[in-house]
A and B are shown apart, each in its own frame.
Chain A
Amino acid sequence: MVVPVQYYLALSVALFALGVIGVLIRRNALVIYMCIEMMLNAVNLAFIGFADYFKAVDGQMFVFFVLTVAAAEVAVGLALIVAIFRNRGDVYVDNLNILKW
Chain B
Amino acid sequence: MQILFFILGAVALIAGGLVVFQKHPLRSALWLIVNFFAVAGIYLLAHAEFIAAIQVIVYAGAIMVLFLFVIMLMNIRQPEADPKIPFIGRKLAGIILAGFTGLILIYGVTKATLTTGKEMAPGLGNTETIALTLFTDYLLPFEVTSVLLLVAIVGAVVLAKSKLK
Contact = CB atoms under 8 A, between A and B. Distances in A.
A26 B25 CA distance: 10
6 contacts: A7-B5, A22-B20, A38-B35, A61-B133, A82-B70, A91-B76
B32 A58 contact: no
Interface of A: 1-3, 5-11, 13-22, 24-28, 30-31, 33-35, 37-38, 41, 44-45, 48-49, 51-58, 60-61, 63-65, 67-76, 78-83, 85-86, 90-92, 94
Size range of the chain B interface in the assembly: 35 or more
B73 A21 contact: no
Contacts of A94: 83-84
B97 A13 contact: no
Judged by DSSP, the binding face of B is helix
Given A60-B48, A67-B51, A68-B145, 15 more contacts: A3-B1, A11-B42, A15-B13, A26-B20, A30-B29, A30-B70, A48-B42, A52-B46, A56-B118, A68-B148, A71-B62, A75-B66, A78-B66, A79-B155, A94-B83
Given A34-B32, A76-B155, A25 B91 contact: yes
Contacts of A17: 98-99, 101-102, 105
Interface of B: 1-2, 5, 9, 12-13, 16-17, 19-20, 25, 28-29, 32, 35-36, 39, 42-43, 45-48, 50-51, 54-55, 58-59, 62-63, 66-67, 70-71, 73-74, 76, 78, 80, 83-84, 90-91, 93-95, 97-99, 101-102, 105-106, 109, 114, 116-120, 126, 129-130, 133-134, 137-138, 141, 145, 148-149, 151-153, 155-157, 159-160, 162
